[in-house]
Amino acid sequence: MSVSISPSIASLSAANPSPNTAPAQKVQQPANNGGDTVKLSESQQVYQLYNQGRTVSQIALSLSLAVSAVNNYLNISNSP
């Protein structure tokens, strides 16, 4: 799972147009070459999905993990 962080230059310039400019010029978005990408570890991905309200079985399925592995990351005991 990756999380991208990039400022929206176009929305900033559109929100504050300059009164002295003629027709609006198109602002070119910078290419996202991966410089703003954060790689999360498997355990961090499990925690993030769990905090978003996903069930253990949904997390296991989406990350291709065993349910026991997800339970282990979340410190959930399988014993009654």
Instruction: Please report the beta strands in 10-79, taking only residues with DSSP state E, as ranges in sequence order.
Output: 37-39
Q: In a structure prediction context, what are the per-residue pLDDT tens digits for the chain, which is 80 residues long? A: 655 555 544 444 445 555 554 555 566 666 666 578 889 999 999 999 999 999 999 999 999 999 999 999 999 987 66
pTM recorded for the entire structure: 0.53
Q: What SS3 state is found at 4?
A: strand
User: What is the predicted pLDDT for the residue at 52?
Assistant: 96
Partnered with residue 37 across adjacent β-strands are 4
Cα gap 55→69, rounded to integer Å: 13
User: What is the predicted pLDDT for the residue at 54?
Assistant: 97
Cα gap 45→74, rounded to integer Å: 11
Cα gap 74→33, rounded to integer Å: 33
User: What is the predicted pLDDT for the residue at 77?
Assistant: 85
| C-alpha of 34 from chain center | 13
